[in-house]
């Protein structure tokens, strides 16, 4: 699975530095951060949440995706990228066939229409945690973020709707094997976008980071 391979080998790629590259190239490249889950949780700022003024329409999605020429929107591009068995892409970016693994609940899915593209940190939660102060363009970039392989995830519609806009204090993936990965990706997304956490959320994250998920590694690249 492309996405899982990226996670597995991501940390190794940090050690591969070109022997000959210009200072300008180094300056232009985003610098990934790699740390333990406990240390990552410690970097998340704590504030009270405020949902005043929130509507989903303030986060434009899905837009035309990373490849403006392929005729696919962000949702379809994520489905193509995360497929275990690649779907056929027909005219109008209609996807047929293909197989996906919904990691929240451990389900194998063979129909793109049965999947939702979940925002790892839901739009409402992002609004509560700092996105209310962003420009419309930054909120659109957040809602369509393919620059990180953890910001958007293809999962069963059922699991996504059970999650809704809840944070880890109130919802975790039903598959126990998924929970440490989920907490790590949640924290990575918060740090990538400079989002905050409230007290209950932070305490829930600490329970996992200091207990069953203490060996989890968090990798993220901040968006400037």
Percent of the chain predicted with pLDDT > 90: 86
The 3-state DSSP class for residue 156 equals: strand
Q: Within a 10 A sphere around the Cβ of 50, how many other Cβ atoms?
A: 13
pLDDT at 224: 87
pTM score, two decimals? Answer: 0.87
Q: What is the pLDDT of residues 118-172, one digit of tens each?
A: 999 999 999 999 999 999 999 999 999 999 999 999 999 999 999 999 999 999 9
Lowest mean pLDDT among 26-30, 68-72, 111-115, 214-218: 26-30
Per-residue pLDDT reduced to its tens digit, 57-105: 999 999 999 999 999 999 999 999 999 999 999 999 999 999 999 999 9
For residue 139, how many other CB atoms are within 10 A of its CB? Answer: 19
The CA-to-CA distance between both ends of the chain, in Å, stands at 29
- Which of the four pLDDT bands, split at 50, 70 and 90, describes residue 24? very low
CA angle 41, 59, 107 (to 5 degrees): 65
Q: Which of 4-13, 33-42, 131-140 has the lowest mean pLDDT?
A: 4-13
Query: What CA–CA distances, in Å, run from 141 to 40, 46, 66, 144?
Result: 23, 23, 11, 5
Q: Which residues contact 137 (CB under 8 A, 6 or more apart)?
A: none
- Give the three-class secondary structure for 217: strand
* Res 17 pLDDT > 90: no
Over residues 4-17, mean pLDDT: 39
E-assigned strands of the chain?
A: 33-36, 88-90, 94-96, 100-102, 107-109, 115-119, 152-156, 217-220
Cα separation, 141 vs 131, in Å, equals: 11
Omega before 57 within 30 of 0, i.e. cis: no
Torsion of CA 39, 42, 44, 50, to 10 degrees: 150
């Amino acid at each position: 699975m492309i996405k899982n391979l990226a996670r597995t080998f991501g940390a190794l790629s940090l050690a591969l530095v070109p022997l000959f590259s210009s200072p300008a190239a180094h300056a232009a490249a985003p610098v990934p951060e790699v740390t333990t889950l406990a240390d990552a949780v410690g970097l998340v700022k704590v504030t009270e949440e405020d949902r005043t003024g929130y509507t989903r329409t303030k986060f434009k999605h899905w837009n035309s995706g990373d490849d403006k020429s392929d005729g696919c929107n962000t949702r379809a591009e994520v489905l193509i990228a995360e497929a275990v068995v690649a779907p056929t892409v027909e005219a109008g970016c209609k996807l047929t066939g293909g197989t996906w693994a919904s990691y929240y609940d451990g389900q194998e899915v063979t129909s793109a229409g049965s999947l939702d593209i979940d925002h790892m940190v839901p739009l409402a939660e992002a609004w509560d945690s700092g996105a209310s102060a962003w420009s419309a363009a930054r909120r659109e970039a957040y809602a369509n973020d393919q620059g990180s392989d953890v910001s958007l995830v293809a999962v069963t519609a059922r699991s996504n709707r059970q999650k809704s806009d809840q944070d880890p204090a109130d919802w975790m993936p039903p598959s126990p094997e998924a929970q440490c990965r989920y907490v790590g990706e949640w924290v990575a997304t918060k740090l990538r976008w400079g989002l905050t956490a409230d007290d209950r959320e932070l305490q829930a994250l600490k329970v996992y980071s200091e207990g069953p998920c203490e060996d989890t590694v968090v990798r993220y690249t901040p968006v400037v």
